[in-house]
Amino acid sequence: MSENARGCSDGSCTRESCAGCEHSKESMLEQLNQYSSIKNVIGIVSGKGGVGKSFVTAMLAVLLNRKGYRVGILDADITGPSIPRMFGITGKASANEFGLLPELTVNNIKIMSVNLLLDKEDSPVVWRGPILAGTVKQFWTDVVWEELDYLFIDMPPGTGDVPLTVFQSIPLDGIVIVSSPQDLVSMIVKKAYNMAKLMNIPILGYVENMSYVKCPDCGKEIPIFGESKLGEIASETGVDILGRIPIDPVLASLVDKGEFERFSCDYLSGAADHIEKMYESKV
């Protein structure tokens, strides 16, 4: 019987399933590439797709990079990778005798994504769960990240096999949960929250995307997806709201052009400051 099947082998955990306990978590961690050193690893998660998780990942990475930190993005959304396109990266990842080499953005953010390994960026990734999970592990063990202050992991949506693999295999220092205003998402946010608590992963805060659209004529903020429920969830769970991002055509245009690093808004500046403050002793 495996260690996780029924409690820890040393008897320190008596739960029916100890997949989230510290003993189990430590035993399942993968070794970072030996030519890499990463001080802080932060996952960006959501309970469902389509809420802007990659968008938040990219924005936080750019903001920390602007503060002078060495930053990388591990695109763990293997079947729906979008990070390279946002940064205008069209080349393919190379390798040397030490491992895979990440691509660099204009401002030297390091990127690794499955789309950097495919012949064509629109080729479908038709893989089963174990291969998807194994690929994410390889982005941790086989990529030569070198020295990083922050590695942001753009997680796949949901609470299934690949997110579980990341939670168990990579030593996350914390996660940010991304949501949108719809009432349905309230339930989904709690699923992501409860998974993180089950796995003993610190929750840094919530970010709400698509919170409103601003009228270009009068400046009024219009909540086109309805009134936000995130405040209620934050109060109930005791987790801070780190920022709210509106629907912004300027940002959408930069994404389409692959020029996301040029954004000038401050929607998540407070979130970047919060992350910097939390981990300032480690950088």
259-279 pLDDT, tens digit per residue, is 999 999 999 999 999 999 998
CB atoms < 10 A from the CB of 240, how many? 14
Query: What is the rounded average pLDDT of the residues 108-128?
Result: 84
Q: For residue 227, give every residue at least 6 positions away whose Cβ sits within 8 Å of its Cβ, in sequence order, or none.
A: 181
Tokens representing 250 are: 């300027």
Whether the pLDDT of residue 246 is over 80: the answer is yes
SS3 183: helix
Q: What pTM value is reported for the model?
A: 0.88
Query: What is the rounded average pLDDT of the residues 107-114?
Result: 96
pLDDT band at 9 (very low <50, low <70, confident <90, very high): very low
pLDDT band at 1 (very low <50, low <70, confident <90, very high): very low
How many residues are recorded in the chain? Answer: 283
Tokens representing 43 are: 């996952």
CB atoms < 10 A from the CB of 111, how many? 24
Q: For residue 64, give every residue at least 6 positions away whose Cβ sits within 8 Å of its Cβ, in sequence order, or none.
A: 71, 149, 150, 272, 275, 276
Whether the pLDDT of residue 65 is over 50: the answer is yes
Whether the pLDDT of residue 218 is over 80: the answer is yes
Cα–Cα distances in angstroms (integers) from residue 268 to residues 85, 156, 216, in the given order: 21, 21, 21
Residue 60: exposure state from Cβ atoms within 10 A (0-12, 13-18, ≥19)? buried
Show the CA angle centred on residue 51, arms to residues 45 and 54, nearest 5°.
60
Half-sphere exposure of 106 (CA within 13 A, CB side): 11
Query: What is the rounded average pLDDT of the residues 175-204?
Result: 88
